[in-house]
Amino acid sequence: MNDARDLVDGRHVAIVGAGLVGSGWAVVFARAGLRVKVFDSQAETQAGALRSVHEQLTALERHGLLAEPAAHVLARVSCEASLELCVDGAAYVQESTFERLDVKQALMRQLDATLSADAVVGSSTSGIPASAFASGLRISPQVLIAHPVNPPSLIPLVELVPAPATSARALAFATALMTGVGQSVVHVRKEVDGFVLNRLQAVLLREAWALVEDGVASCEDIDKTIRDGLGWRWSFMGPFETIDLNAPGGVADYARRLGPLYRSIAASRAHAKEWSEELIKDVESQRRQELSAESLAERRRWRDDRLAEFAAARDRREGS
């Protein structure tokens, strides 16, 4: 991972917005040997950031996912008293503020006034395109989306989505930096709603909810269909490789055999419907039978342990 250190050439990474996502990013960059400065305009969030980073590092260490003691990594992370101190001299800024257009616009105007011309800004937003909050500014060519999956310290995927104004240099830098710190980079070439990840998640969830609404299957049986069926292959191959291996002649053979069925399935679903309050209550009640509201937090820790085991197994396999 020395690539990343060469790339920033002694400069640091600034984390602006230090909630769950921001602190996860701090772990990703610090773990790769980079200096990280953190700022959050909410004093309370700022105060919790180092504790969150510490907890995440301890969990990684427990699963054998750190190459050095957690304390050494933590020592590379500092909190700064102002946005200016945080971003001054930064090679890269990861923006993870509240998911609201006006918040992002205000931040970009502030950065426009202070940021050096060669720093690149990645936004963690899961849905707002960079054009919507970084147009017409001096720094517009320096800004793009770098959308992670939570927590980014465990799940490697990051979607890079340039705006039309984003420079090729900024995209190339973000690609090299993210790859250098061990993330898995996906290039989203157009600013479409939901980028790629949430579009794929959206269509699957819409069909899942509709199957519950139509009385075809329970939530738990739909979860089983994925976790005991489709999900295994998708967790190490993705859908195109899966179907490429599922027909004797590969993906084109598969498409000609099953394309018409899939087309009729997709066409049979009216996608304009809202999830009614009644349906939401039904799904919630089904989920609460599987897992009580009081157990949500514990189950989230279980999930993160499983993800860490997943990451550790992947590291062993790839010898990294």
Minimum CB distance to its own copies smaller for 12 or for 63: 63
What is the CA angle 221-223-229, rounded to 5? 90
Minimum CB distance to its own copies smaller for 51 or for 306: 306
CB of 108 to its own copies, least distance (A): 22
207: region left, alpha or beta (phi > 0 left; psi from -120 to 50 alpha)? alpha
CB of 247 to its own copies, least distance (A): 9
Minimum CB distance to its own copies smaller for 85 or for 208: 208
CB of 264 to its own copies, least distance (A): 6
Report whether 36 contacts 12 (CB < 8 A).
yes
Minimum CB distance to its own copies smaller for 66 or for 208: 208
Cα(299)–Cα(290) distance, integer angstroms: 11
CB of 59 to its own copies, least distance (A): 16
Report whether 93 contacts 12 (CB < 8 A).
no
CB of 187 to its own copies, least distance (A): 6
Minimum CB distance to its own copies smaller for 268 or for 320: 268
150: region left, alpha or beta (phi > 0 left; psi from -120 to 50 alpha)? beta
Minimum CB distance to its own copies smaller for 117 or for 190: 190
Question: Beta 120-123 vs 77-79: how paired, if at all?
Answer: unpaired
Q: Which residues contact 92 (CB under 8 A, 6 or more apart)?
A: 8, 13, 14, 119, 120, 121, 122, 173, 174, 177
The H-or-E segment that residue 41 falls in is none
CB of 75 to its own copies, least distance (A): 29
Minimum CB distance to its own copies smaller for 171 or for 211: 211
Report whether 54 contacts 75 (CB < 8 A).
no
Cα(79)–Cα(65) distance, integer angstroms: 24
CB of 158 to its own copies, least distance (A): 9
157: region left, alpha or beta (phi > 0 left; psi from -120 to 50 alpha)? beta
